[in-house]
Chain A
């Protein structure tokens, strides 16, 4: 492998992550302006035109604030926790295909960080790591609010992970592969043919609903943000954090929202594909990346929309929903998909 090959690999895997990191402060702006819109108030509008420079000002401020480590905290784990949360969030995007296959001097280059055969497994494995960041933050802070937030979060995340992974098993069954490029390829065919080759959301609507609800719980977003329920737990697991370490938890949450949206798009809405669109030229490939970005942005907006629209669940309701409703529904969806495959409908 030559140096240019290695550079190409690095570019393919780092480009989407860099884009996410650059867009991230903007998402904060969109969320706060969106909240203003929904709650009939202006939102941030003082720093720069339309408040567009507000996120930049926030980042500078986060860096310049005093970085406290409480005297009773477990210093090593306290510092490690936000790093772990950020690490887990940043590494998930590697296996998600974000565009069609590019042709460079006759060599096909699929636009995906790492086209590995265990894509979905890798994704769920790394996503599960993020719970360690939250639990360690809660425990090492040596604060009861943090501890309760961390414990709640771990119970919530593992409960909804079951429903989420079972729902995703339906997609794996239909695709017959863990490779996410295969999942997208499966969905880029005709919607009218038998077996069906359109977006997965049509035959697996039930699975999508389960996955969608679980994604909110997995990212600790409202209506499932019990770990940081400010009315009961001050700020939950990051009560004791300040300066950039505090911001890193928010950063990880936003990246997780983007990844969850991208994953929903990839598994259920055809990824970068669009009905009747088969890119071959360079322009087509660029268009496919844009399609993927627009679909993902749509789901990110839904995450924000829901946050400012729905009230928070109670903890017993949360657990009941996860174990008594979503898990059986996810299994039902799996049987439905297996039946469809047996009848050659999928």
Chain B
């Protein structure tokens, strides 16, 4: 059983090796002609205008929260989809009820313009 995951481990080690080798080679092979200006933060060739770590729109946090809610819903959908064939009609009804409850929340978010930027 755990044996079937061995190839995934191999591939992960391989991927770490490739990624590590690329980062290392790139750092070693290139020239090193550093100046203070060159290491500055990029601002289209102008002196830096303002701070880099500014506040971002609250909308992004809202989207992240809504995502957590809906992702949990999908976590329920997957096992349901897996056993649906053996369950049949009663399972269908249960999912309709579950998604109706979820749909009320979805309609609330829609009405409150959570999806409008």
Does B97 sit at the interface, judged by CB under 8 A? Answer: no
Query: Using Cβ atoms and an 8 Å threshold, which residues of chain A touch B40?
Result: 70-72
Binds B, one of A28-36, A262-270, A334-342: A334-342
Chain A at the B interface: mostly helix, strand, loop or mixed? helix
Interface string of B38-63 (1 = CB under 8 A from A): 11111010000011111010001001
Q: Are A63 and B42 in contact (CB under 8 A)?
A: no
Report the Cα distance A148→B110, complex, angstroms: 25
Q: Is the CB of A66 within 8 A of B32?
A: yes
Is there an interface contact between A14 and B26, defined as CB atoms closer than 8 Å? no
Q: Would you call B25 and A145 a contact (CB within 8 A)? A: no
Size class of the contact patch on chain B: 35 or more
Task: Decide if B115 touches A319 in the complex (CB within 8 Å).
Answer: yes
Flag if B11 contacts A94 (CB, 8 Å): yes
Query: Across the two chains, which residue of chain B brings its CB closest to A328?
Result: B106
Contact of A173 with B70 in the complex, beta carbons under 8 Å: no
Interfacial chain B residues near A114, Cβ < 8 Å: 4-8, 11
Q: Is the CB of A234 within 8 A of B6?
A: no
Beta-carbon contact of B30 and A17 below 8 Å = no
Known interface pairs A116-B5, A158-B67, A327-B70. Does A17 touch B42 (Cβ–Cβ under 8 Å)? no
Interface residues of A in 149-197 (CB under 8 A from B): 151, 154-155, 158-159, 161-162, 165-166, 169-170, 172-173, 176-178
Whether B27 is near chain A, meaning CB under 8 Å from some CB there, is yes
A304 contacts partner chain B, Cβ-Cβ < 8 Å? no
Is A37 engaged at the interface, CB distance under 8 Å to the other chain? no
B67 in complex: contacting residue of A64, A87, A162, A243, CB < 8 Å: A162
Whose C-beta in chain A lies nearest to the C-beta of B32? Answer: A66
Dominant SS among interface residues on chain B? helix
Cα–Cα distance between A246 and B8 once the two chains are bound (Å) = 27
Contacting residues, chain A, for B18 (C-beta < 8 A) = 21, 86, 90
Cβ of A204 within 8 Å of any chain B Cβ, yes or no, is: no
A90 with B19, Cβ < 8 A, contacts A17-B14, A162-B71 known: yes
Within A34-76, the residues touching B (CB, 8 Å) are 62-72
Q: Is the CB of B19 within 8 A of A86?
A: yes
A178 contacts B31, C-beta separation under 8 Å: no
Q: Report yes or no: A67 in contact with B30, Cβ–Cβ below 8 A.
A: yes
Query: Are A9 and B23 in contact (CB-based, < 8 A)?
Result: no
Interface residues of B (CB under 8 A from A): 3-8, 10-12, 14-16, 18-20, 22-23, 25-27, 29-34, 36, 38-42, 44, 50-54, 56, 60, 63-64, 66-67, 70-71, 74, 77-78, 81-85, 88-89, 92, 95, 99, 110, 115-117
